[in-house]
Amino acid sequence: MEDGVLKEGFLVKRGHIVHNWKVRWFILRQNTLLYYKLEGGRKVIPPKGRILLDGCTITCPCLEYENRPLLIKLKTQTSTEYFLEACSREERDAWAFEITGAIHAGQPGKVQQLHILKNSFKLPPHISLHRIVDKMHDSSSGIRPSPNMEQGSTYKKTFIGSSLVDWLISNNFAASRLEAVTLASMLMEEHFLRPVGTRSTGAVRSGDLAEQFLDDSTALYTFAESPKRKISSKEEISLSAVELSGTVVKQGYLAKQGHKRKNWKVRRFVLRKDPAFLHYYDPSKEENRPVGGFSLRGSLVSALEDNGVPTGVKGNVQGNLFKVITKDDTHYYIQASSKAERSEWIEAIKKLT
């Protein structure tokens, strides 16, 4: 990275006038967050805009958009609000941590607190959130939602916060109540659970980076069922439930060359195993449904040369490119944001081919 750059990468930003969502390349410096338009896989100079961080407040997680659970909200001294979406919980928290550090750069005590928080808020590698949720739905040993009352209102199919903490500990997913609360917070942030009623919803909207989930007998939660959408027969992509049932191994924003028009667009890529598939999503859309994807069985993946424009690539797109050739000989040209990121993706895909 360039001198003075604390973090850089893709984020999806909400427009100010028309509230549409567009991918931008963000560069974080000590007191400014710059964002750039992209053309042909490259950032367009000068920057499209800048966010002055002095006196800024940050809300993470921000739950103002139900279908965008991975948001960060920044509010400047002039009360201008910026909504930024990351590709994963880990990436969102990394951005929030670095931005908060830049905002509080003159307060060493606050920065130290953030380091402790960052290091404590991690999911153990042997625990899969999908596995926990599957176990929670188990008819014999899972969580059993039931009607619960809060402030005179009855909420059907809910469970109380302290009961879930007890359940996570008794099923050996967590060793302590603090660990269980952290784990439950992750389940909620990844949209497996949602708060119900005033008590739990109020805690989520506090904007604290840490405990969003309440170990409390008065806080209510329920399973966050994903909205069902009718699929049009005109849609080109026919996705089976099996394809999307695999464990997520890696995800992130990458630029991809289109098959027909050969233009470059940033997509959120999700790599899954068992079964091995690579899907890509349009981050400007509200719905969490892939716009494309392919099986990795029998595929080939390789880096493309960094000098000049490789064969098969349209436009002056250079650097950090790689190619995936599927079993049926379809060629996908993809660009990462750095050589290191390209290597990580290639290694992760190779393990599944």
Cα torsion at 138, 141, 147, 152 (round to 10°)? -120
The domain spans of the chain are: 5-114, 129-223, 247-351
Domains 5-114 and 129-223 share a fold: no
pLDDT, average across residues 316-331: 88
Q: pLDDT by residue (tens digit) across 151-162?
A: 777 888 899 888
**Among 199-208, 232-241, 294-303, which is the least confidently predicted range?**
232-241
> pTM of the entire structure?
0.64
* pLDDT number for residue 126: 60
| pLDDT > 70? residue 304 | yes
What band does 236 get if pLDDT is binned at 50, 70 and 90? very low
* pLDDT number for residue 79: 92
d(CA 8, CA 38): 14
Evaluate the omega torsion of the peptide bond into residue 61 and state whether it is cis, within 30 degrees of 0: yes
pLDDT, average across residues 120-148: 78
What band does 121 get if pLDDT is binned at 50, 70 and 90? very low
d(CA 40, CA 256): 10
| pLDDT > 70? residue 111 | no
Give, in order, the Cα–Cα distances in Å from 176 to each of 107, 165, 167: 32, 9, 11
Q: Which residue has the higher pLDDT, 212 or 134?
A: 134
What band does 40 get if pLDDT is binned at 50, 70 and 90? low
* pLDDT number for residue 81: 94
Q: Which residue has the higher pLDDT, 247 or 119?
A: 247
d(CA 201, CA 100): 23
**Among 168-177, 232-241, 308-317, which is the least confidently predicted range?**
232-241
* pLDDT number for residue 190: 77
* pLDDT number for residue 125: 59
CATH annotation of 129-223: 1.10.10.10
* pLDDT number for residue 109: 58
Q: pLDDT by residue (tens digit) across 13-34?
A: 999 878 899 999 999 998 899 9
* Among the listed residues 75, 170, 183, the one whose alpha carbon sits nearest the alpha carbon of residue 121: 183
- Could you tell me if 116 and 109 are in contact, meaning their C-beta atoms sit under 8 angstroms apart? no
- Could you tell me if 68 and 49 are in contact, meaning their C-beta atoms sit under 8 angstroms apart? no
d(CA 105, CA 4): 13
Q: Tell me which of 2.40.30.10, 2.30.29.30, 3.40.1050.10, 1.10.357.10 is the CATH number of domain 5-114.
A: 2.30.29.30
- Could you tell me if 203 and 188 are in contact, meaning their C-beta atoms sit under 8 angstroms apart? no
Which tokens is 288 given? 């969490």
| pLDDT > 90? residue 322 | yes
What band does 230 get if pLDDT is binned at 50, 70 and 90? very low
What band does 233 get if pLDDT is binned at 50, 70 and 90? very low
Max mean pLDDT range (7-21, 31-45, 221-235): 7-21
HSE-up (13 A, CA, CB side) for residue 329? 0
The reply to whether CATH 2.30.29.30 applies to domain 247-351 is: yes
| pLDDT > 50? residue 232 | no
| pLDDT > 90? residue 279 | yes
Q: Which residue has the higher pLDDT, 317 or 237?
A: 317
* pLDDT number for residue 214: 85
